[in-house]
Structure 1
Amino acid sequence: MPYAITKRCIQCDNCLPQCPTSAIKVIEGEYWIDPTLCNNCTGELAPQCVISCPVNSPVPYQAKKGRYKKVEVRTVPSPELFSDGKSHPFASAIVIWELCNVLAQRQSLLWEIDAEGDLYYQRQINGGKGAIAFRVTDSINLESPATLKGAKALSAIKTFDIRSACMHLIYAAHVTNLDQPWQEEFIINDRQIEEYLGLDKRKDLSKSIKLALIKELAQQPCKLIASINLPPQGKIKGICLEKSRLWHLLDIQHDFQEDELGCKHLVGLTFKIKAGEWAQYFLNRQGCKERTAFYQYGTLPKALLSVVMSIWQQHEGAVRMILWLLFKTKIGKEQRITIPTLMKVAYGERKLNQVSLEPENRQRLLRIFESDLEVLNQYGLKPIFDPVTYPLEIQPLWCKLVDIPEDAEAALEFWIDDGSNDTRLTDVAPRGKWNRLMNARILYFEMPPEWKKQLAKSQKKQRTTNCKTKLKPQIALSIEYILEARKRLGLSQRDLAQLTGKSQSWIRDIENGRFQAKLEDQMLLRKVLGIN
């Protein structure tokens, strides 16, 4: 049972150094024991605060009874997000995406140790011309934080909660409301966070548990620091940031109420946050207009936060894919995704490689993967399978059963017809399904309406850009033209791929009619193949 400090406290400081869990805090000159950290001095003969206190101030903690009174004086928070109740812009630069992946995938990523002994995770970008590396620190307010090493860093990574990625996205949404986010700060309180994450509807959680959870989730994105190295792009100079915080947690304001014994009960939290130096390069409106910086943003659906908070325990793989797709689909709808890529996101590259060498464990991972895809489908992210590489016979069972009629008689007739076929929907998967899946692809994900709003904006922007380039309209290249021209020149698909700078699979997909080449790619093909 945790302890609490009553109004008899004379602030002698005797108890502060004696607490083995550092649960005793001094906040605005008042002493308070954090009940989430106090463990009743397990392993000791008696609680150390009780032994060291000369006036017997510490008493067993009793949960506050009755409703919490509204705190009269609180710092005014920044304006609410999701004013339309559905979505809000958020910073979606590559550094934000990667930090979201780190918080979601944690120890599943391939962490390495550098020459100084620091544990780090690095991602190559721009074809290896640039890189982003993340390291862990246990401080949240130091300007030059010290990175954790070895086992300490690994232990810290294991304590990260996947739900902290939601807090990271909330921060990324708040900074889009600021003109110069690298200089300005925003304020967010527990009531806003409860509403964004859907915790206000959780009647099974007490106020103290909610506040403890919010405080922990709010701090975790601030415990990762990034080193960013990007080459120059046009007028934009190269970016070089070393061990820079993405989020500065400037202050945490605790609001208390006292009971009749003078014991303080935490009833509210207010956080003051500021974006790191990255925002000057990736979220700079004026710099974007002058073409000296980027302003990269997307749309954050409010429903996504609720989904993550609802399914994170049972379907962690599905949550990782949802968070990854939030950024991936920002690029555009036609994003072919290989199954190995999705599995690496959901379960980690190390686990995928291990299962590939252990055939006895493949079936279990396949069941989990298909279950996670079903969860995505239930929440509006419907996978559209490539009919060539991902045919019906190796698709998940839930996907095959979508067409079953709701009417009882029609459903009976459906199953009778299915039973008379040579192959049935409920037949066991064909042999070699794993190997076929390793070459399978999903054409794209049909997205919920909140996500489609984001794509409509990007497509409108693309159309505007195409109009500005004033390309001369040309008749679209047909498959027959490309095949005939390639064979006339005596080129193989590999030869044509090398001449155009594309992959052989891209040429094959064009000739098989899986998709049509973009206008600029058609011009390139015309030039290489000599088509007027």
Structure 2
Amino acid sequence: MEVSKLPDLPNTEPPLCKENEYFTPAATSAPIVSSLKAQLRKDLWSEDPSGLAYFLHSAKGNPKNLIEHYITSPGDISLLPWNEALQIIDKFGTNTAKLHLIFAAHTMRQEQPWVNEFNLKISDLIEEIAWNNNDYPKYEKIKTIAQHAFALDCITVQATWVEGRHRKGGLMASVEVSRMWNVRVHLVGQQNLHGKVEQPEEGIITVRPGLWTSSFLNKAGCEARKALYQFGYLAQDILKIDPYRDDLALRLGLHLTVESRFHISGTYKVQTLLEALLPKTFIDEALNNFDKARKLTNRWNHALKVLSELKRAFQIEFDPGTYPEVLRPDSKSRKPRGYFKQLLAAKITIHPPAPIPELLAAKTQPKLVKPKNISSSKKKTNKSAGKAIAVTGTQIKNARKVKGWSQGQLAGFLGVSQNLVSLIERDKRSINKKLRTKIGKLLEI
């Protein structure tokens, strides 16, 4: 992630929701789901045999469908060992998860998200997430959100995925190791003697979605049955939930946002939801400690009340056979012995605010926003960007410099080493058809 002073602010994206709108389409494909979980469940990261930090997510319906995440250093694709990666993983949480879904929503507005990039003004993001308290000066908020963006820049994704395994000829949507989000941050303000902006007046986050979008958020590819186009809807009120006072409610809202695309019924066991949101040790301790059971039950009940009392409320129904009145949030009755086990087994149905469930059921597809300021000649180039065309190392080098990327950054986008990029640019290494296609898409040559 690059941090620098920016004298002239570029054009930035408009707010996600216009006046009188309260939800927006957002990418909710498998890489989005897994990387959201990787942020909310930091305890599930582990060290692989080679000493790297990794997060593994498998599809519920097909365990052979796998998403893997690693942590990389900014500027290149070098994967970080466990101890170094932990410094990044520790930054994950509900705040990065909010920004993650904001990126996912803006990605839906791009016609070719694996090629296009967009700019977000940090002051707009502060308003969007309702960070309105005066406990922190504006420049601290700007720097904090910049750090959240930095953390998201460090997540890579690798997918082994075949959609439709029960049908003949499942659709291959696998993705090689690449970044989830390619992020640059520009801070605007007075520089100190060392050239750093310590109290920024504004910040711009430039995002180019990763190559996973070519497989999982590709409308044209989906129509040609060569890729997936998976999306759901993000309710604006979710972004405004206080991550400190209402942590579990925010976790639940974020989780349901991405789950609602494929979990149409909205019916869960309470234990299933809690295990998706919190370390399993929290639940195990509550099963063996009355005080911890009481505290976790209160947190759960508070989370349900927060979602049900939003301006556009989530729709919550308690299963009368498994979720008795005494366990529900508004009950004042004394809870029976062993109530926490009963609560874990209880079933609850939670739907996002209307009309999101109806839109998901109807599989309504939003209109894409065409990239701005693209000349007809550039559009023509984009159409052929995916084709394998012969290019020289000098052409690649020049196109990379036009983009303002280092060799390490291009290597990260391609999922290869910086040394390989150097060899290619000096015409000392040939490239296969697949890599030529990637280079064509990225550099538009």
Taking structure 2 as the reference length, the TM-score comes to 0.72
Give the Cα–Cα distance (whole angstroms) in 1 for the partners of residues 3 and 186 of structure 2. 12
- What code does the residue aligned with 2:140 have? I
Deviation, 1:79, is 3.9
Residues 1:78 and 1:145: Cα distance change in structure 2 (over 3 Å)? farther
CA distance in structure 1 between the aligned counterparts of 2:169 and 2:128, rounded to whole angstroms: 39
| Matched residue, 1:169 | 101
AA in 2 matched with 1:368: R
**Shift in Å, 1:258:** 6.7
Please give the secondary structure, in 1, of the residue aligned with 2:200. strand
Alpha-carbon deviations, 1:108-134, whole Å to 9, x = none?
xx2322111112221211331211122
C-alpha displacement of 1:305: 0.7
Mapped pair 1:266 → 2:200:
yes
Check if 1:287 corresponds to 2:221: yes
Q: Is the 8 A contact 1:248 1:274 kept in 2?
A: yes
Q: Match of 2:78, as an amino acid?
A: P
Q: CA deviation at 1:328?
A: 2.1
Question: Equivalent of 2:161, from 230, 236, 248?
Answer: 230
CA-based RMSD of the aligned residues comes to 2.8
Q: What's the CA shift for 1:102?
A: 1.8
Query: Judging changes above 3 Å, is the alpha-carbon distance between structure 1 residues 158 and 88 closer, same or farther for their aligned structure 2 residues?
Result: same
Query: Of residues 332, 350, 353 in structure 2, which corresponds to 1:445?
Result: 350
User: Residue 304 of structure 1 is aligned with which of 238, 245, 252?
Assistant: 238
Instruction: Check the 8 A contact 2:3/2:187 in 1, yes or no.
Output: no
Q: Which has the higher contact order (CA 8 A, sep 6+)?
A: 2
Q: SS at the partner of 1:159?
A: coil
> Measured at CA, do residues 155 and 203 of structure 1 come closer, stay the same or move farther in structure 2, by a change above 3 Å?
closer
CA distance in 1, matches of 2:296, 2:333: 19
Alignment of 1:32-431 (within 5 A): 73-84=8-19, 85-107=21-43, 110-125=44-59, 126-137=61-72, 139-142=73-76, 144-149=77-82, 151-199=83-131, 201-231=132-162, 233=164, 237-249=171-183, 251-257=184-190, 265-307=199-241, 310=242, 312-331=243-262, 334-358=265-289, 361-379=292-310, 380-396=313-329, 398=330, 400=331, 426-431=332-337
Rounded to whole Å, the distance in 1 between the matches of 2:278 and 2:156 is 24
Amino acid across the alignment from 2:24: H
Which SS does the other structure have where 1:163 is aligned? helix
Alignment partners' CA distance in 1, 2:7 and 2:87 = 40
Instruction: Report which of the two structures shows the higher radius of gyration computed on alpha carbons.
Output: 1
Counterpart-to-counterpart distance in 2, 1:357 and 1:434:
10
Residue 454 (structure 1) shift: 2.2
> Within 2, Cα distance between the matches of 1:146 and 1:258?
32
Q: 1:123 to 1:185 in 2, by over 3 A?
A: same
Classify the secondary structure of the residue corresponding to 1:323.
helix
> In 2, distance between residues paired with 1:177 and 1:320?
25
- Give 2:339's aligned amino acid: K
Note if contact 2:67-2:158 (Cα within 8 Å) is conserved in structure 1. yes
Cα–Cα, structure 1 residues 277 and 358, in superposed 2: closer, same or farther, change >3 Å? same
Provide closer, same or farther for how the CA distance between residues 394 and 194 of structure 1 changes in structure 2, counting only shifts above 3 A: closer
Shift in CA distance, 119/146, structure 1 to aligned 2, threshold 3 Å? closer
Shift in Å, 1:285:
0.9
Distance 1:178 1:257 in 2: 33
How many percent of aligned residue pairs carry the same amino acid? 23
Task: Give the drift of 1:26.
Answer: 9.2
Question: 1:196 Cα deviation (Å)?
Answer: 1.7
Q: Distance in 2 between matches of 1:27 and 1:427?
A: 58
Tell me if 1:436 matches 2:342. Answer: yes
Residues 268 and 393 (structure 1), Cα distance of their counterparts in 2 relative to 1, 3 Å cut = closer
Cα distance in structure 1, aligned partners of 2:344 and 2:125: 40
Deviation at 1:255, TM superposition (A): 1.9
| Structure 1 residues 363 and 225: CA distance shift in structure 2, 3 A | same
Given that 1:330 and 1:454 are in contact with CA atoms closer than 8 Å, whether structure 2 keeps it comes out as no
CA–CA distance in structure 2, aligned partners of residues 348 and 305 of structure 1? 23
Pick closer, same or farther for the CA change 1:130–1:177 going to 2, 3 Å. same
User: Secondary structure of the residue that 1:146 maps to in structure 2?
Assistant: coil
SS in 1 for 2:36: helix
Partner Cα distance (1:282, 1:243) in 2: 15
What is the distance in 2 between the residues matched to 1:457 and 1:209?
Answer: 39
1:382 deviates by: 4.4
SS at structure 1 position matched to 2:90: helix
Paired amino acid for 1:96: I
Name the CA distance, whole Å, in 1 between partners of 2:3 and 2:148: 22
- For residues 431 and 336 of structure 1, what CA distance do their matches in structure 2 show? 26
Paired positions, count = 354
Report the CA distance between 1:27 and its aligned residue: 4.5
Q: Give, as a single letter, the amino acid of the residue that structure 2 aligns with 1:432.
A: G
Cα 1:270–1:140 shift into 2, 3 Å: same
Distance 1:184 1:461, change over 3 A: closer
CA distance in 1, matches of 2:15, 2:299: 37
CA distance in 2, matches of 1:232, 1:365: 37
Q: Secondary structure at the match of 2:157?
A: strand
For residues 232 and 190 of structure 1, do their structure 2 counterparts lie closer, same or farther at Cα, with a shift above 3 Å needed?
A: closer
- Tell me the secondary structure at the aligned position of residue 89 of structure 1: strand
Q: How far 1:341 moved relative to its partner? A: 0.8
Give the aligned residue type for 1:460. A
* TM-score, normalisation: structure 1: 0.61
